[in-house]
Amino acid sequence: MYTRLSDSFIHYPITNQNHLDLNSMKELPESHAWLSLDDSPSFGSSVPDLVHVINLNDPNVMTLVGHACKTWGVFQITNHGVPTNLLEEMVEASRKLFALPIQQKLQAARAPNGVSGYGVARISPFFPKLMWSEGFTVVGSPYEHARKLWPKCYTKFCDVIEEYKKEMNKLAQRLMSLILGSLGVTMDDVKWACLQGSSPALQLNSYPACPDPDRAMGLAAHTDSTLLTILHQNNTSGLQAHKEGIGWVTVPPIRGALVVNIGDLLHILSNGLYTSVLHRAKVNRTQHRLSVAYLYGPPSNIQISPLSKLTDKCHPPLYRPVTWSEYLGAKAKHFNKALSSVRLCAPLNGFADANDHSGVQVG
Ligand SMILES: O=C(O)CCC(=O)C(=O)O
Ligand SMILES: [Fe+2]
């Protein structure tokens, strides 16, 4: 069994990475033209209750966070303490990276069965069409790949990445403490929660302006294989979350706010009480959209299983213990059925795991 994050995809290489230079395309190629974007939302005649915006200084913050985790699995946060200039510097560093010529970016290409480097979305093999996006993943130190991008001046990029990871780690731990608190559990009950996440990943996403955005998909529907993800969507609309009974809802960018997604591992940890949110990114005709996702998980040697405080005779554990990298492997193999693949007992309704989203059209 692999416990190192970098080994997660060793058996699941992406063999056919089609590296088109999207920035130079005047038309949408057939390879990127999606037949159905499942846009049939949305709110009918009633006004939906929108993705919550939570002020982290609110005296009621724990209750608000718990409610958002239960009902949506996604929320936005303000007063999060991450300096604005660091958020801006991170976006500028990404902009510089994605503005490099494609041949240069390919110098730092992710190995077919690796996790770090430049490449297409890891979920691409599950879809018949390609996505209108490019990505750069950092697990561990960014130096090796950054040196290939900028042989002489990679230090600034690496410094920004390291500083960003440091700040995000602080914030992720604060959020974990609130989330656990809202479940009636303390950080002391979950010893590993106070430790540094194993090797949290940073995912830089680039969605160039698209000549035919209604038929293109930036990042197809998926849940994150994390405990939680902190997303900076840089004032450009594109992120949508799916809510049962409502459909796809845009998570509007709010200046200075960050988006928090609940991931599959938190769904497991909470024994299904908190929902991992299905989300996707759309593209637009005029703006190049950049986003930065901080993917936070448990330390690599820790097996995640439903918290014992949340289980009893009437609420048996629904999932078997699984490490982060083992779960990433399950995701690479089963994609939207990964949760079912680690499920111990069938849901009471006899259907597939509600959080597997098998019934939602993800393509
Ligand atoms: O770009 C976005 O808004 C979403 C990115 C995302 O979902 C991811 O990186 O996992
Ligand atoms: Fe995501």
d(CA 29, CA 22): 10
- Order of strands across the sheet that contains 219-222: 219-222, 279-281, 239-243, 247-250
Q: Could you list the beta-strand ranges (E) of the chain.
A: 53-55, 74-78, 117-119, 134-139, 201-207, 219-222, 228-232, 239-243, 247-250, 258-262, 279-281, 289-296
Q: Could you list the beta-strand ranges (E) of 117-246.
A: 117-119, 134-139, 201-207, 219-222, 228-232, 239-243
Neighbours of 268 (CB within 10 A): 27
Question: Confidence class of residue 361 from pLDDT cuts 50, 70 and 90?
Answer: very low
pTM surpassing 0.90?
A: yes
Residue with tokens 């820790």: 302
Is the pLDDT at 44 greater than 90, yes or no?
A: no
d(CA 173, CA 182): 14
Tell me, using a 6 A CB cutoff, whether residue 240 lines ligand 1. no
Q: Among the options 110, 122, 280, 289, which is catalytic? A: 289
Which is more confidently placed, 300 or 234? 234
CA-nearest of 100, 59, 85, 226 to 164 is: 85
Query: Would you state the pLDDT for residue 346?
Result: 66
Which is more confidently placed, 332 or 5? 332
ipTM at complex level:
0.99
Q: Which ligand 1 atom sits closest to the C-alpha of 259?
A: 3
Which is more confidently placed, 250 or 9? 250
Percent of the chain with pLDDT over 90: 70
Query: Would you state the pLDDT for residue 304?
Result: 95
Overall average pLDDT of the 238-252 stretch: 92
Residue type at 290? L
d(CA 173, CA 193): 7
CA-nearest of 334, 332, 323 to 357 is: 334
What is residue 291's three-state secondary structure?
strand
Cα 205 to ligand 1 centroid, rounded to whole Å: 7
Range in 17-26, 147-156, 160-169, 305-314 with the lowest mean pLDDT: 17-26
Query: Would you state the pLDDT for residue 3?
Result: 60
Active site residue 289: yes
Q: Which ligand 1 atom sits closest to the C-alpha of 293?
A: 9
Proximal ligand: closest to the CA of 121: 1
Cα 151 to ligand 2 centroid, rounded to whole Å: 30
Query: Would you state the pLDDT for residue 351?
Result: 47
d(CA 225, CA 267): 10
d(CA 329, CA 298): 15
Cα 222 to ligand 2 centroid, rounded to whole Å: 6
Structure tokens at 154: 């990679």
Is the pLDDT at 45 greater than 50, yes or no?
A: no
Query: Would you state the pLDDT for residue 49?
Result: 61
Tell me, using a 6 A CB cutoff, whether residue 239 lines ligand 1. yes
Tell me, using a 6 A CB cutoff, whether residue 251 lines ligand 1. no
Taking phi over 0 as left and psi of -120 to 50 as alpha, with beta for the rest, 65 belongs to alpha
Protein residue whose Cα sits closest to atom 1 of ligand 1: 291
Condensed to tens digits (0 to 9), the pLDDT of residues 161-206 reads 999 999 999 999 999 999 999 999 988 888 888 766 557 899 999 9
Question: Confidence class of residue 20 from pLDDT cuts 50, 70 and 90?
Answer: confident
Range in 55-64, 151-160, 191-200, 331-340 with the lowest mean pLDDT: 191-200
Tell me, using a 6 A CB cutoff, whether residue 219 lines ligand 1. yes
Overall average pLDDT of the 99-107 stretch: 93
Tell me, using a 6 A CB cutoff, whether residue 87 lines ligand 1. no
Average per-residue pLDDT for the chain = 88
Question: Confidence class of residue 10 from pLDDT cuts 50, 70 and 90?
Answer: low
Query: Would you state the pLDDT for residue 194?
Result: 74
Condensed to tens digits (0 to 9), the pLDDT of residues 178-190 reads 999 999 998 888 8
